[in-house]
């Protein structure tokens, strides 16, 4: 997924935090909602300016970020 098009960073919007493009909703707020167990549809209902595709982009962004930033131990080889 090309998630980058769903995000924006502008010093004049939310202090330069990464937000959902065209909104003032920080990406970290969407991530926090997901971490609290809210589903994408519930998040969209709570943030009407955020589309379902934008929430999916946040999930993809988190997955890629975790893959790049967190060193994972090698998995054992099972025979």
- Residue pair 61/5 in contact (Cβ under 8 Å)? The answer is no
Enumerate domains of the chain plus CATH numbers: 3-68 (1.10.10.10)
- In the prediction, which pLDDT does 2 show? 83
Q: How far apart are CA 73 and CA 55, in angstroms?
A: 29
Query: How far apart, in Å, are the Cα atoms of 73 and each of 15, 53, 64, 70, 76?
Result: 36, 32, 17, 10, 9
This prediction's pTM: 0.79
pLDDT of residue 12: 92
pLDDT profile of the chain (79 residues), mean per 10: 88 94 96 96 96 96 76 63
């Amino acid at each position: 997924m090309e998630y980058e098009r769903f995000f924006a960073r502008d010093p004049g919007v939310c202090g330069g935090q990464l937000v959902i493009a065209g909104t003032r909703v920080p990406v970290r707020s969407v991530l926090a909602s997901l971490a609290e167990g809210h589903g994408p549809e519930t998040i969209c209902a709570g943030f009407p300016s955020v589309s379902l595709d934008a929430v999916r982009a946040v999930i993809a962004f988190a997955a890629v970020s975790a893959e790049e930033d967190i060193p994972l131990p090698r998995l054992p080889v099972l025979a």
